[in-house]
Every structure is written in structure tokens, then in C-alpha cells.
Structure 1
Amino acid sequence: MEYKTFLPHRDLELFINCYWTLIVPASIETTKQRIIPDGLIEMAFILGDDIKRYTSADEFIIQPRALVLGQTMEEFYIEPTGYVNTFSIRFYPYGFAHLVKTELNRLTDKETPLANLFPKNDADELENLIINARDTKHRIEIIESFLRSYISKPLVYDDLVKNTIDEIILSLGSKPIKAIIEDKVSLRRKLERKFLKYVGVSPKQLGRLIRFQAALKLVLSEDPESFTSIAHQFDYHDQSHFIKDFKDFTGLNPKEFLNNEHMKLSSIFYK
């Protein structure tokens, strides 16, 4: 399994967390992999064999080969049918909203074909260019050209959304939303509506995701701290609260997560 990440050009770093590639040779034995929420939106291109996404224990759909994975609040399973070769763009929470007019809560917890979000001719051309690109460097050049053509100019930020996201990230999700907006009820309702439109989840949900991901990195570190220490560091009420939150997002407690064969891919993504 070969997973690599690449930084975006500096004029896109406000929108994009990274580009990543994943290559896995075809194997006789394939294992379902559990994908866990991370608070980010992905645009992915499947360059290898088809990938199943399970909608229940036994039922699945075949993922679109050019797709956007919206915000997810629950874990889900995927399974390769053979050779895996994926190229993906990982957007910051507010990054993808600058490319489309679609309200992002409509994308939450599902994959949306690229052609449903951009003009079909543009989406089809982009997919063909990515498929036929020489290498990853060439794919990054192609996608960056595409993204620049769609990012609104002049760039318009919603200050309430941007400032709240900045506070959430700065505190690693530990600062309560009511503290960020000084407990103003009318402002909270406004913020909820704007977050669903521009981020895809509520401020509280994004805060939980950011805090969980920060804690997960410590769980996956080479020298992991005790769960009590992690809980304290990220302002969980106690270890039980931390474990409950962890289980809500992964379906497992931290001990079960480590070295779980269904979590190999998520462990690589978030270590």
C-alpha cells in the first residue's frame, strides 16, 4: 500500500489541505475498510478498478469514478474489487464552497458524481484529462488549472463562518461554540444556517470532528499517551466522554481501533 500527500500551490492553500494518491496492488483477498469522518470534503478520481461502498452489511453500490465525498458524520465501509489507484483533493472545511453554488449539506454523508456539481462537459473533460495524465505532477497541474477557473473572483468570504472556523481549528475543537459567539442566541441560529450551506455540518459537529481528529493523531502516534491524558488535553469531561466520542465516529473504542484490519486505510490517512 503506497499513500502519498502533496501540498497545493500557494495561491490555492487557503482552499486545499493536500492532494493525495493511494496505490494498492490487486489482491486475491480483499478486506472491507472503514472510512471515518474528518471534517473535510474530498474530490476523488478512481483510476484503478471499481470500489464498492457498502450501504448496509451486505448491500453496496459502485462508487462513481469521479466524485465528491461530502462531510461525513458516521463511519462507512468501502472495498476494492482489484487494483487501487486513486487521486484525490482534500479541501478545508470552507474551501469547497468557493467552487459550487450547491448548499453543502446536500452532499453530506454521500458521494456525488462530479457531473452533478459542475457543467457535464467540464466534468467529463476534467475526468478524461486526469485519467490520461502522465503522472501525479501532471494531474495536480490539471486540477489546479480547473480549480482556479471556478474559484470566485474577487474572493468573497463570509466573515462569520470564516472566523468561527478559525476559532474552532485554533482550539482544536475544544472551545464551545457559545463561547466563540459570546452566547448570542440570534447569532447562533444564523451561524447554524450558514454552516450547513457553506460547510455541510453544524458548528458543533465540525468542532467535534476537529477535536476527534486531533485526538486520533495522538492515539495513532508512535508513542501514544494514555487515554486519560488525551481526554484531558482536548477538554473532554473525562476518559469515558473521550471514548464515547471516539466510538461515535469510528464504531470502536481506541484500543479496538489500533491494529484493526478494517482500519488500516484510516490509520494511514490520519496518522
Structure 2
Amino acid sequence: MKAEIFKPSASLSKYIDSYMLVDIDWHHTTDVENVWRLIPYGKVSMLFLYGDPHEYSLKGVTESMQYTRRAFLVGQLIQPIWLRFTGHTRLIKIQFKSSGAQQFLPVNMEEFRNVASLDLEALWGWDTAELIEQLEESLSDEERISKLNGFLEKRLLPQTNLIDYVDYTIQHMKSHNGNLSIKGLEQKLGISTRQLERLFRSKIGLSPKEMSKLIRLNAAFSSLRAEPEISLTKLSYEAGYYDQSHFSRDFKNIAGISPTKLFSRSSQELFVTHGECFVK
């Protein structure tokens, strides 16, 4: 099993967090589960597969799971997605920053809301298939990263000043773990609630309220990972909730399981958020 993180080129680093290269031969791997549950975390990703495809579903592990395309986009999820891997997985995942994906896609990002596998050939044409061939034929991971950088640099769109409003708001949300008054930021930015809402939906595919909630709940996941025995009272309070039932409901909506059952449940799944496993 191999999973390595690479940084994008300097010209792309403002929009892309990282590239993750994964190489797992499931015929010879027993130390990691082959079913993963991905938890929404407010970022769009793209995957290029040059190994065997995997199955996905928004409804759990079922007989009706579908196979992914060889190159696809995962939009802004508002619920968990289940993945099931078989064969030999070889892929590159592009992890965009919260507002990064729209710099490569001349469309309203809300179109990709809760989309688990959008065919990139439909967006970028045959160049996508050619890139996959190049990734498969490359002799090293460094060569693959170089080809991917070149591919994306050609598709980088001019940046508008409007995205600065979104980035500024998200930065402040994260610095407060999502517990932040949006109205106070609107006054600093000099724009209305409606304008900010419209910008968020078009540039990242979520409303400010939804993004804030994802940041709060992912902070709770981090607390659970660091302190598995944390009480529900403390966990909900740290996440900015004063009503435990409200916290548990929001948590279950995006994780598919309540916080009290997360660690008591014997699972054959790997729970993943921000690209990292937080429970086995």
C-alpha cells in the first residue's frame, strides 16, 4: 500500500491544497478496510484513475453501487459517500482549496452540489483521456505530477476580485472553528447577506451557513479522533452547540451515524474526512 502527498506547482498552489497518489493492490492488502465512508468537509476534489475503478454510493454499501469514471469530479457533498475498492487501485486525487475548483471550471459550482462522480471528459473533452494514458505510462510519480501540473495550468481561468470575499469569509470561519457571526463579516466586507450567499453558492457550491456548519462538525471529528472518550456534552459544546440533540442530528446528517455510536460500532469501514482516516 502506498499513499503519498505532493504539492502543486507554484502557479496552482493558491487553488490546490495537494495531490495524493494512492497505489493499493487489494489482492495483497489486509491492513486496511476496502470500504471507505467519506465525510463532507467543504472542498471539491478530482480523481484520475489509472488502475481499476471503484464503486460508490450515497446510500451506503448496497448491491446497487455504481462504478466511477476514470476521471471524475466529486462536488460539494452534504452527506457521506461510500466507496468500495477491489482489484488494483492506482489514482491521483486533486484536493482543491475551498474556492479553488471554480478557477478551472467556467460554471456555477452549485451545479455540482452533492455530485459524487461527474465525468471530467464531459467538461474537458478528449484531453482528459489522453492525460490518463500519460499518467499510466509515466515511469515515476514525479513525472505524473509534472504532467498533471501542466494539464491544469492550461485550464486555469482568470481570477476575479469577488472570490476574495469568499476566501476572506472562509478563513475567518476556520479560525473560529465555524463559530462566527456572518453579519459581522458582512459589515467588514461591505456586502449584503444576499450578495455573500449568492457568491458562496456560485463559487463553492454551499451557503455560508452550510460551510460554517461543516467546519464546526469537522472540528468535532478532530476532537473525537484525538479524544475517543470525550463526552457528548463536551463535544457538542466545543462545536458551538448548546443543544446536544441538535448537534447529534447535524453530526448524523453528514456522517451517517450519531457521535455516540461512532466509536461503539464495530465497523468494517474506514471513516475519512479531509483525506485522513479518523476511525478504523
On the 8 A contact 2:34/2:86 being kept in 1, the answer is no
Match of 1:113 in 2: 119
Matched, 1:18 2:23: no
Relative to structure 2, which stretch is displaced further, 60-69 or 44-53? 44-53
On the 8 A contact 1:102/1:117 being kept in 2, the answer is no
Match of 1:194 in 2: 199
Q: Matched residues, percent identical?
A: 25
Relative to structure 2, which stretch is displaced further, 62-71 or 203-212? 203-212
Shift of 1:165: 2.1
Taking structure 2 as the reference length, the TM-score comes to 0.84
Alpha-carbon separation, structure 1, partners of 2:209 and 2:107: 22
On the 8 A contact 1:218/1:224 being kept in 2, the answer is no
Relative to structure 2, which stretch is displaced further, 23-32 or 90-99? 23-32
Matched, 1:38 2:41: yes
Task: State the AA in 1 paired with 2:16.
Answer: I
**Structure 2 residue matching 1:264: 3-state secondary structure:** strand
On the 8 A contact 1:216/1:270 being kept in 2, the answer is no
Alpha-carbon separation, structure 1, partners of 2:253 and 2:88: 31
Alpha-carbon separation, structure 2, partners of 1:197 and 1:179: 22
Aligned length: 269
Return the match for 1:75 from 62, 80, 87.
80
Rate the CA distance shift 1:214–1:133 in 2: closer, same or farther, 3 A.
farther
Alpha-carbon separation, structure 1, partners of 2:233 and 2:140: 45
Task: State the AA in 2 paired with 1:21.
Answer: L
Deviations 1:66-99 (A, max 9, x none): 1111110011222123222221010011101111
Match of 2:161 in 1: 157
On the 8 A contact 1:51/1:63 being kept in 2, the answer is yes
Give ranges in structure 1 of 5+ residues lacking alignment: none
Match of 1:244 in 2: 249
Alpha-carbon separation, structure 2, partners of 1:260 and 1:18: 32
**Structure 2 residue matching 1:12: 3-state secondary structure:** coil
Deviations 1:172-220 (A, max 9, x none): 2111323322499x81122222212110111111111122112211211
Task: State the AA in 2 paired with 1:147.
Answer: L
On the 8 A contact 1:38/1:209 being kept in 2, the answer is yes
Rate the CA distance shift 1:9–1:238 in 2: closer, same or farther, 3 A.
farther
Alpha-carbon separation, structure 1, partners of 2:147 and 2:105: 18
Taking structure 1 as the reference length, the TM-score comes to 0.87
Measured on the aligned residues, the alpha-carbon RMSD in Å equals: 2.8
Match of 1:221 in 2: 226
On the 8 A contact 1:55/1:61 being kept in 2, the answer is no
On the 8 A contact 1:53/1:63 being kept in 2, the answer is yes
Task: State the AA in 1 paired with 2:74.
Answer: L
Rate the CA distance shift 1:139–1:214 in 2: closer, same or farther, 3 A.
farther
Matched, 1:269 2:276: yes
On the 8 A contact 2:50/2:133 being kept in 1, the answer is no
Rate the CA distance shift 1:128–1:109 in 2: closer, same or farther, 3 A.
same
Matched, 1:7 2:7: yes
Deviations 1:117-155 (A, max 9, x none): 22x1322222222222223222221111222222234x3
On the 8 A contact 1:164/1:180 being kept in 2, the answer is yes
Relative to structure 2, which stretch is displaced further, 51-60 or 167-176? 51-60
Match of 2:238 in 1: 233
Task: State the AA in 1 paired with 2:238.
Answer: Q
Match of 1:177 in 2: 182
**Structure 1 residue matching 2:253: 3-state secondary structure:** helix
Return the match for 1:50 from 41, 53, 57.
53
Return the match for 2:258 from 250, 253, 257.
253
